[in-house]
Chain A
Amino acid sequence: MIANNNRKIIGKLASRSVKFHKTRNIFVLITIVLSVSLLGVISLSQSAREQKIKKQLGMVQHVIYENANKEQVDELKAIDEIDFLTLAKHGSSFKLENKLIRPVYFEKDTKSIKKKAIAEGNYPEKLNEIVIDRPMLKLFPDAKNIGDSIDIKFLDGREEKFVISGFYEEENENASIYTILFSKEYSEYGEQLKDVPYTVLCKIENADTMSEEQFLNTINKIGKDAGIERKNINPNNFFTNSLSLSKQNILAIILVSIGILFVSILVVYSIFYISVLENIQRFGQLRTIGTSKKQIKAIVRREGTIMFSLGTPIGLLISWIIAYWIFPEGWNWKYTIILSLIIAIAEFITIIISVQKPAKVASSISPVEASRFSAFGDKGLKETKELHRKLSPFSMARVSIVRNRKKSFLTLVSLGIGGALFIMSTTMIVSTSLEEYSRQGLYRHGEYIISFDYNAVQTMENGLTGVQLKNSINEELIKKIKSIQCVDEIVKSQRTSIKYDYKDVVNNEDYISPFTREDIDIINKTLVEGAFDYDGMIKNDEILITQNDLAQEVYGWKFDIGDKVNFRYFDGEKEVQRSFKVIGSIDERRFTDNYSMFLVPIEKLEQLFPSINTIDALVISINDFEKNGDKVEESLRNLIYENPLLGMDTLRERLAEDKGNFDRINKVIIRLSSFIILFSLINLVNTIITNIISRKKEFAMLQSIGLSNKQLVRMIQFEGLSLSFGNLIITLIFGTVLGYGLIRVLQYFGANYMHYRFPIGYFLMYIIIIVMVPMLVSGILVRLFQKESLVSRLRYGE
């Protein structure tokens, strides 16, 4: 059969209708533009960010093989999977007048692996040539320019003379770390670098197409082939993460997009549905004059596609502009066009789904029904129970809402979803206790941490134990600190360094910490495997492992229960070698806030290190941190400056850093949820406006029999307000439930710094918006009505 050639009229009717229903269209358009641009901005900016990261990743190594000797370097050079490698050396860092100096060497040409650039002068060629950061000259008042020479006193006490051959690219004026670049000759023969093993920076062939696992396997295999220990294989985390992260991000984006599309379906659906209800008579007329059901459906659908084809390009354009503005360096035409196409298709499907039901409703209108049907009467009540309900602007508004159950319900649902999501996400914001987040770890006990200076520990023989031999964190210091006003309590954190052999690692450096009898309960609770007995642990040489998962991550193996671990340490008098049995592992970092792999009872620790003060950090808590923080910090700093071996970290710095991070996340949350609210507001405004406009004549009639303007405005506002209040109740109930659930889930996943709190401030803001909008819209509309005379409004539609 050949289809009838009557399709043209559908387009004509649809476009007429589109021209006729201006307000509805504006709202549908805004919705489409919003959702398209939102999708666009999210996906395009993500793609741009990935492009940007890719560009950055192109300039860094994929993996570093550390501590490699000449032979191993040669082996590596022979391996095919390595696309390119470059050599570097890192000498021991040292302190010079409060600044950390890092002696390094890297090759002149590092190809695509980006290194610190030399801005002035030349790469050092001769043995005594160096390149330094210009701010470092402050430490050497005599030197001013290239060619000047400086004397540097190294960690080993040796003083050497160098000639400045160039300066690095200018960086932070107040940086606390300076880097000195030595020549190739010095790296081979110079006192400071000749014994330092090589660091090999490699790029792996086809790495960016691998999955994270594949990549790790590849680099591990290369390391093994070249005889490099597992712990010396240092994959670039930034790069590794990018391999899996991009997938996670894409998944997240898809989820968010589906959410946005779902909300837009709701909004477009309800707008179209309401519009169909309002135009029942028109459809009935069309049916009367012989329009088939199919044609009616086609008309409504066509209206949808017209709106789509108007809104989508605008939305895409907006998203392009915004995406380009956010990451101009990540702009890529190919991806942009592909993504835009995907978005357009998704939006199209959304629109088609949205108008499906309204189209069906429109098509099911019978010609007879149309003459009687009004937006109110459908299956509505035939009569009331009470003869005379109390009539006031408020009750009339209520009656109208009830009579418009379907419309009101739709609006309420979409408003409610927006509101609930808003409350849920703001719950997350207010439930996050920033201070508790920052106070994770040692800050749990106080606001200041005094510990050993990194430099000091690095340079001391026997590492930490060496420093502790003549421990500066002693009773004298504690007494001094206690004498500072406002200091409340001082918590001592103990640990000391040991070396151990286990499986393929030999002489590996790590730490051992103590626990007390009071901790037995907590340890029992957090025991992952194995069992322990406090006194047995003192008697026998037994240890608990605290971070087995970390071992798995770093070395590729776990400590197994029952295995023996060979410990080597300096007990303060002599080197000791002793074997310990692993009896359990726990998942609780409380005892090792400062990080250590092994745990023994405190008595045992004292036995093992009889003449060593094993305190390695002090946590100082003070009264009224807010008020006295600055004062105490200054006193503590003065105390610390006296001793070059000590350093201090403060909660204040930590809070500022964490606050920055959270602010960023919160901004994103608020932005997303306000978009969702925007959607529901569009819907609310649309409902109010269509409601008012469709009842223009009814209102005129009420006014003709004496409804005053004030009463009219009040009635309309009450209608809008009852929607608002319904919405607020839904929002309150579902938002609270969702928010509470979310917090519980997050707590389950370890976010202990979260405590459920209702976002009162945000909710109040939401109330204001949700209440103000209907008031304003109805006020404005009624004012607009006034421009048209009562008489012509009475005649409206005749």
Chain B
Amino acid sequence: MNILETIDLKKYYGEKPNIVKAIDGVNLTVQKGEFLAIVGTSGSGKSTLLNMLGGLDNPTSGKVIVTGQDISQLSDEELTIFRRRNVGFVFQNFNLVPMLNLYENIVLPLDLDGEIIDERYIEEIIELLHLEDKKRMFPNYLSGGEQQRGAIARALATKPSIILADEPTGNLDSKTSAEVLGLLKRTSGQFNQTIVMITHNNEIAQLTDRIVRIEDGRIYNR
């Protein structure tokens, strides 16, 4: 079952003569439960693609279909709610809210939607990510790996249709990267969670089920 599908997705910047084709006709499908890596060098358009997959940005043309809904033409507010209910984000720089403790950060997307919290599930995530001792701590007192694990937990909290990870280990040392990635992979398996991760690093990408290469805004399946 396709959880995510893009149809001839294009994103152009600038005016006619100096047009920049950040994404130029991408067709991509992601299966439910798949852990997909999008690999590309910086400037290849991988971040732009991810932003459009997650509804952070609108495409110039083409469609992004997530769980059967075309999100490419939604308004700002609709996109916000779409993200809240369907997308989990893991960013390179963790992006936890400094004024909330880790637990509050994890359940924040649920609170934003006024949802009840599935305590058992959240506890399971926290345990899996080895964050039991850190729940009450503020992000500033956590290591990078712990913060990123927190971010993963936050992304999982809403049981989203898809988790988008943008260079999740970009700010971590190699050892922590390996552990965080292992956990990411483990959670994807355990909760049958679909994950799309972008990275420039083949060593990281090899852990995924499938690798897609992007260059100059186009996808090369090899």
Direct contact of A and B (CB under 8 A): yes
Q: Which of B98-131 contact A (CB under 8 A)?
A: 98-101, 103-104, 107-109, 111-113, 117
Within 8 A of A (CB), among B31-78: 51, 54, 56-57, 76-77
Residue of chain A at shortest CB distance from B88 = A705
List chain B residues, Cβ under 8 A from A702. 97, 108, 112
Interface presence of B81 (CB below 8 A): yes
**With A376-B98, A396-B100, A400-B99 in contact, do A383 and B136 touch (Cβ < 8 Å)?**
yes
Question: C-beta contact mask, B126-161 vs A, less than 8 Å → 1, else 0?
Answer: 000000000111101100000000000010000000
Residues of A within 8 A of B77 (CB): 708-710
Q: Are B97 and A701 in contact (CB under 8 A)?
A: yes
Pair B141/A706 contact, Cβ less than 8 Å: no
Interface segment, A570-578, A583-591, A757-765, A789-797? A789-797
| CB pair B56 A791 closer than 8 Å | yes
Cβ–Cβ contact B138 & A380, under 8 A: yes
Residue among B91, B113, B136 with max Cβ neighbours from chain A (10 Å): B136
A705 contact from B100, B136, B141, B154, Cβ within 8 A: B154
Residues in B whose Cβ lies below 8 Å from that of A396: 99-100
The answer to whether A376 touches B137, judged by C-beta atoms less than 8 angstroms apart, is no
Cα of A705 to Cα of B160 in the assembled complex, Å = 11
Nearest CB of B to A186, in Å: 93
Residue among B84, B93, B99, B140 with most chain A CB within 10 A: B99
> Most chain-A Cβ atoms within 10 A of its Cβ — which of B89, B97, B108?
B97
Most buried by A among B57, B91, B138, B141: B138
Count CB-based A-B contacts (< 8 Å).
Answer: 106
Give bound CA distance, A789 to B100, whole Å.
25
**Chain B residues closer than 8 Å to A707, beta-carbon distance:** 80, 84, 112
Which listed residue, B88, B104, B138, touches A389 by the CB 8 Å rule? B104
| B101 close to A384 (CB less than 8 A) | yes
Whether B192 is near chain A, meaning CB under 8 Å from some CB there, is: no
Determine the interface band of chain A, counting residues with CB < 8 A from chain B: 35 or more
In the bound complex, CA of A786 to CA of B51 (Å): 17
- Note all chain A residues with C-beta closer than 8 A to B76: 709, 786
Chain A residue, CB-CB nearest to B83: A706
Q: What residues on B are CB-neighbors of A376 within 8 Å?
A: 98-99, 138, 140
List residues 41-64 of chain A with CB under 8 A from any CB of chain B.
none
The reply to whether the CB of B85 lies closer than 8 angstroms to some CB of chain A is: yes
Q: B174 on the interface (CB 8 Å rule)? A: no
Are A387 and B80 CB-contacts (below 8 A) given A790-B57, A794-B56? Answer: no
CB distance from A782 to the nearest CB of B (A): 12
CA distance A621 to B147 in the complex (A): 82
Q: Is A382 an interface residue (CB 8 A)?
A: yes
Contacts of A708 in B (CB 8 A): 77, 80-81, 84, 112
| With known contacts A380-B138, A384-B136, A705–B109 Cβ distance under 8 A | yes
Residues of B within 8 A of A372 (CB): 140
Report the separation of the CA atoms of residues A372 and B144 in the bound assembly, to the nearest whole angstrom.
Answer: 11
- A664 on the interface (CB 8 Å rule)? no
Shortest CB–CB separation between residue A795 and chain B, in angstroms? Answer: 9
Q: Which of B83, B112, B136 has the most CB of A within 10 A?
A: B112
A-B contact pairs, 11 of them (CB 8 A): A376-B99, A377-B98, A383-B141, A384-B104, A389-B104, A399-B99, A705-B84, A706-B109, A708-B84, A711-B112, A791-B56
Q: Which 9 A-B pairs have the closest CB atoms?
A: A706-B84, A383-B136, A377-B140, A391-B111, A701-B95, A383-B137, A708-B80, A403-B99, A376-B98
